[in-house]
A and B are shown apart, each in its own frame.
Chain A
């Protein structure tokens, strides 16, 4: 008892009650084609639920594509705003996540569609035209999806450029107040440690990052990650550069100290010269005095006989004086 056809028919009736959108034209296209060569037993209901299934899926895909287009336009408008400050990162991240979900849905549905197309070929031998039409619809949806992803790519590129520009402007502002820059750089290891600690444990909620995992958007993901990588590399390199700068300043101080030393020593050179002159004078004076004394000593030692005579005269005078008194 093969009641699968009845089961499908009931499902399709429910579905057709639920949705009444775009599939109308596709149904019209498909139904005359399929009605031509259906088996007599299954006939129109089978063809109808076949075509309606396919058309319903196609309609869902088309709706999603339309919704993504709308969200993409919103994203593009937001990305173009180019503000220095708070450019609604929350909204953008939400929209990006929704976009990603939609893209995932689209890929899933696309795969379902291709498998559904194969199933239909297995279920009932459709005409060549029907198969061609299915493939055309699938190709159309794929092309629309590709266009969406390319626009998404452009928007993301614009967003990264804007973020880089904001970063540069921020750096300019920081650089103008150098004290701020030095204070920021001294705090930066701690600040960046905290940032990295929080970011690495959970998916990054930074302004700089969007949660992208779709396979067609690997390039943006790499760009974002490169920005993050450069950031973490920059922190390490900045810390190294600050250390080397401190070493350079120490060396500079050392050079100044050496110069001071040389100046003091050169001042003391004059003092030393004065001392030298003084000692030379002393030496000459003392040498002259020594010669004088030597002369006197030789005079005295050679003059002893005269001294005896002088003494004799004195003694005789002293004696006469005493005799007289």
Chain B
């Protein structure tokens, strides 16, 4: 796998993105102009855009952390210890679920959730309308009854004064 990653990275021109299919997996490679390249190996279902977004983010951080001079100075034999990048592990964990890692997908997911919440809100508003209508009827009935009550009381006072 490392060999394939290396060959793919060497084959791409700087400033170019490529996706190469290999047996069950797809390797997304992005080579930046500074001479740093990143390879993401994922299965075929993983969305391409998320892979390249991850590559973008990782390469940006890497270039900001280790400026180009140190990269150019280091030969291939220095190994990984000079350029330690522990956040990679965390990134790999978070990006297992593409909907979780990528920002655009996160936005989309939250918007979908908001939409669901709003649908529920509209349903509850409709139910509120029903309840308000019943309340109107009952208040109408009550008001008429109370009016009758008032009239009866008044009539009782005005009419013949029996014990």
Contacts and interface: CB of A to CB of B under 8 A. Distances in A.
A281 B143 contact: yes
Interface in A240-289: 240, 243-244, 246-247, 250-251, 253-254, 257-258, 260-261, 264-265, 267-268, 271-272, 274-275, 278-279, 281-282, 285-286, 288-289
Contacts of A253: 115
B108 A243 contact: yes
A179 to B, nearest CB: 23
A282 B125 contact: no
B114 A247 contact: no
B39 to A, nearest CB: 13
A279 B121 CA distance: 28
Given A292-B153, A292-B157, A275 B125 contact: no
Contacts of A271: 129, 132-133, 135-136
Interface stretch (A37-45, A74-82, A130-138, A192-200): A192-200
Given A253-B115, A257-B118, A261-B122, A200 B104 contact: no
Interface residues of A, number: 52
B115 A229 contact: no
Interface stretch (B58-66, B72-80, B83-91, B144-152): B144-152
A240 B156 CA distance: 82
Interface string B99-119: 000001101100110110011
Contacts of A189: 48
Given A232-B17, A289-B149, A307 B163 contact: yes
Contacts of B17: 232-233, 236
A265 B21 CA distance: 55
Given A229-B15, A271-B132, A299-B161, A261 B121 contact: yes
Contacts of A282: 139, 142-143, 146
Nearest to A274: B136
Contacts of A279: 139, 142-143
B139 A275 contact: yes
A48 B116 CA distance: 95
Nearest to B150: A289
Nearest to B139: A278
A264 B146 contact: no
A309 B152 CA distance: 27
A149 to B, nearest CB: 23
Nearest to A304: B163
B92 interface: no
Contact of A257 (B119, B146, B156): B119
A268 B142 contact: no
A303 B157 CA distance: 14
A197 B26 CA distance: 9
> What class of interface size applies to chain B in its complex with A?
35 or more
B21 A193 contact: yes
Given A239-B49, A243-B108, A250-B108, A296 B115 contact: no
Contacts of B108: 243, 246-247, 250
Interface string A209-237: 00000000000000001000100110010
B18 A232 contact: yes
A315 interface: no
Nearest to A189: B48
A17 to B, nearest CB: 49
The 8 A-B residue pairs with the shortest CB-CB distance, nearest first, are A278-B139, A292-B153, A285-B146, A197-B21, A289-B150, A281-B143, A289-B153, A282-B143
Interface of B: 8, 11-13, 15-21, 26, 48-49, 52, 104-105, 107-108, 111-112, 114-115, 118-119, 121-122, 125-126, 128-129, 132-133, 135-136, 139-140, 142-143, 146-147, 149-150, 152-154, 156-157, 161, 163
27 contacts: A189-B48, A193-B19, A193-B21, A197-B19, A200-B8, A200-B12, A225-B13, A233-B17, A236-B48, A239-B49, A243-B104, A243-B108, A244-B104, A247-B104, A247-B107, A247-B108, A250-B111, A253-B115, A261-B118, A271-B133, A271-B136, A275-B135, A281-B146, A286-B150, A288-B153, A289-B146, A296-B157
